[in-house]
Amino acid sequence: MSSSPPALRILAPDEPPAFEVVNPQGRSSAVLLCDHASNAVPRRLAELGAQKEALCQHTGWDIGAARLSRRLAALLDAALVLSGYSRLVIDCNRPLGSPTSIPEISCGVPIPGNAIDAAEAAARADACFWPYHRAIDALLDERRDRRKSTAILSVHSFTPSMPGQDRPWHAAILYGRDRRLAAPFLEAMRREPGLCVGDNEPYRVTEGGDYGIPVHGEARGLPCVLLEIRQDGLLSDDGVEAWAQRLAAIYREIEPGLFPGAGGA
């Protein structure tokens, strides 16, 4: 339950929850996270006063990431946790208080509803950020208690171009200190003819700029990787299926090396 005063509570009782857990008892060692799964905005926030395009485009969510995550979870029989609200409400993959946690400008687009005080920011965290991450913590704690081998795959998508920059990568493998999962993923994907794969580009994982991998992966000592797929590859059912099949096959290939003798148990 939110600790915010009633006047500052963000979500109405009839609105969707801040997270969704899919297949929590999945047999795979993989646990999938989708930090930017939705572009929904609580009614109280009146679409943040932003142009509708800001919510529908990459500024509002990771286009195709939720569909890809769900399909990949089904193929692997993996647990999946998805965020329930737009990254413009509060970004679930940014440390609280960072400049991009509740951005007033996103990719040059003003977000008037994000000019807020500390109390409002805390209310958004209570409503959308902490419930999502507590759900992840609860899932990981339960797996730890069962001595279940676990690796974190955080699924994202990125826009094909930014102002003045076309992005040649079809996908990117992002990581911080832990490369146990990133290195074999990168090697496997780069074996595919015609596939351009970024190595910590167009983004990289940092403790100051990311939350999920540093907190749920590295701090727990779990193999972890952030997978970025270019959004134009996820616009069709066929594209989503192709990427899900590719990523599932790669994970199955490298899983035995992550947990020798464990069989993913």
pLDDT of residue 34: 99
pLDDT tier, 5 (very low <50, low <70, confident <90, very high otherwise): low
Mean pLDDT of 238-261: 96
pLDDT tier, 29 (very low <50, low <70, confident <90, very high otherwise): very high
Whether the full predicted model's pTM is greater than 0.75, yes or no, is yes
pLDDT tens-digit map of 54-84: 788 888 999 999 999 999 999 999 999 999 9
- Is the pLDDT at 263 greater than 60? The verdict is no
Q: Domains (ranges, CATH) in the chain?
A: 6-193+202-258 (3.40.630.40)
Mean pLDDT of 197-212: 94
Q: How far apart are CA 223 and CA 209, in angstroms?
A: 19
pLDDT of residue 185: 98
Distances (CA, A) of 35 to 69, 81, 163, 212, 249: 11, 8, 24, 8, 23
pLDDT tier, 262 (very low <50, low <70, confident <90, very high otherwise): low
Terminal C-alpha separation, the chain: 33
Mean pLDDT of 233-242: 98
Give the list of residues 6+ apart from residue 108 with CB closer than 8 angstroms, or none. 163
Least confident span in 132-146, 162-176, 194-208, 221-235 = 162-176
Which residue from 91, 86, 100, 172 is spatially nearest to 129, judged by alpha carbons? Answer: 91
Mean pLDDT of 38-50: 93
Burial 87-109 (b: 16+ CB within 10 A, else e): bbbbbbbbbeeeeebbbeebeee
pLDDT of residue 265: 46
Give the list of residues 6+ apart from residue 102 with CB closer than 8 angstroms, or none. 88, 89, 90, 91, 114, 116, 121, 124
